[in-house]
Structure 1
Amino acid sequence: MFIRHLSVALVAWFALVAASPASHAESGPEIDAGVHETMQRFFRQVGGARELAHKAVGILVFPSVVKAGFGIGGEYGEGALLIGGRTAGYYNTVSGSFGFQIGVQARSVIIAFMTPEALRQFRKTAGWKVGADASVAIITVGVGGSIDTNKITSPVVGFILDPKGLMYNLTLEGSKISRISR
């Protein structure tokens, strides 16, 4: 009985958080500062990251995506789309999950659009869903800790960073990314 009440309370809490992200949403300048810091950390920690950023036609950066769960989980984060190094719009990412999970985790997510068509498709879709609207290839760093940009063939590539660096074996599947106004 206790587990049932706890599950109902968690579902209600996640629904409340998902339904009212604007109540504790960051301002445009706060998001921009987080995006800048995340990109600088990415450049410092991963060889070839600057070259990749220069080749990408757009980069979507979520400085902090927080995932919390106890059986039922959810995650939320806000970020910005950079085109030519400038902010071209603000976005949020939301996803839910069910299964064995407990605790809270924060991570940064960087999604690079490598082709104009991939970026155009992302920008014209309201509520872009990873896996349904596009596949995001999660890139892992090889020996020497650097990215070989000549071997990247996917139109959309993603990186997941924690405070220590790149994270492995994670997915963005099921994440919904929507434009927000600031």
Structure 2
Amino acid sequence: MSSPSPRIFSRRGFTLAALAGVGMTAAACNGNGIGTQGASVIDARVDATLKEMYRLYPNTQPLAEQASGVLVMPLMTEAGLWLGGAYGRGALRVNDITVDYYSATKASAGLQIGAQQYAHVLFFMTEQALRDFRSSAGWSVGADMEYVVADTAGSLGTDSNRLTKPILAAVFGQAGLRIGATLDGTKYTRIIP
């Protein structure tokens, strides 16, 4: 008696799975501000995100005060079924004033099923890092960024050695800090809301 051979996805099966992943991502993004109009909506969400981050992680406030600029992405929605993606919109603030609006996108492939939502904040600790970000047509997360996340302690850290890095990131979710979260592959593009 021979054992059944493993199933191999046909092109049609793979295409249907990919479309399901894209559909799942689109459905998850529906409450993410996609389709909402106006800078006031984004600004209100940015204000609420910063307030919540400072309340939950008060040691992030000194980072914001020392930063040349802060990019706040209040809600990133990430979903996937084999193929996945993430989307969010936010604002860049310099001296607590919104100077630009950005979208963030991320694509991924591999074994993944499900959806999650999270916020993240990028702290541009040098004028050069801020200038490079603002002058780029489509800036992607690179090796010059460090997470202000203590993977074992479960809290945000502001170690003085990290303050010398050009870009710092805080990633947190509705249920608290996302341990081991990564922004790798995320691309930021200036938008007009």
TM-score, normalised via structure 1 length: 0.86
Instruction: State the percentage of identical aligned residues.
Output: 32
Describe the SS at the equivalent of 2:182.
coil
Q: How does 1:55-70 map to 2 (within 5 A)?
A: 55-70=66-81
Shift of 1:164: 2.1
Deviation track 1:67-113 (CA, whole Å, cap 9, x = no partner) reads: 01001000000000010001011000011000111111110010000
* Residue 139 of structure 1, aligned match among 126, 139, 148: 148
One-letter amino acid of the counterpart of residue 160, structure 2: N
Aligned twin of 2:58: 47
Q: Aligned equivalents of 1:37 and 1:23: distance in 2?
A: 18
Q: Check the 8 A contact 1:48/1:149 in 2, yes or no.
A: no
Describe the SS at the equivalent of 1:150.
coil
Describe the SS at the equivalent of 1:38.
helix
| RMSD of aligned alpha carbons | 2.6
* Residue 173 of structure 1, aligned match among 184, 189, 193: 184
Q: Aligned equivalents of 1:97 and 1:144: distance in 2?
A: 26
Q: Aligned equivalents of 1:174 and 1:128: distance in 2?
A: 10
* Residue 158 of structure 2, aligned match among 144, 148, 166: 148
One-letter amino acid of the counterpart of residue 48, structure 1: N
Describe the SS at the equivalent of 1:80.
strand
Aligned twin of 1:3: 13
User: CA 1:25/1:14 → structure 2, altered by over 3 Å: closer, same or farther?
Assistant: farther
Deviation track 1:1-50 (CA, whole Å, cap 9, x = no partner) reads: 57324224236648989xxx997144210100110010011101113111
Aligned twin of 1:101: 112
User: CA 1:91/1:160 → structure 2, altered by over 3 Å: closer, same or farther?
Assistant: same
Flag structure 1 segments of 5+ consecutive residues without an equivalent. none
Number of residue-to-residue matches in the alignment: 177
Q: Check the 8 A contact 2:43/2:91 in 1, yes or no.
A: yes
User: CA 1:171/1:144 → structure 2, altered by over 3 Å: closer, same or farther?
Assistant: closer
1:37 aligns with 2:48: yes
Q: Check the 8 A contact 1:35/1:63 in 2, yes or no.
A: yes
Flag structure 2 segments of 5+ consecutive residues without an equivalent. 1-9
Describe the SS at the equivalent of 1:170.
coil
Q: Check the 8 A contact 1:47/1:145 in 2, yes or no.
A: no
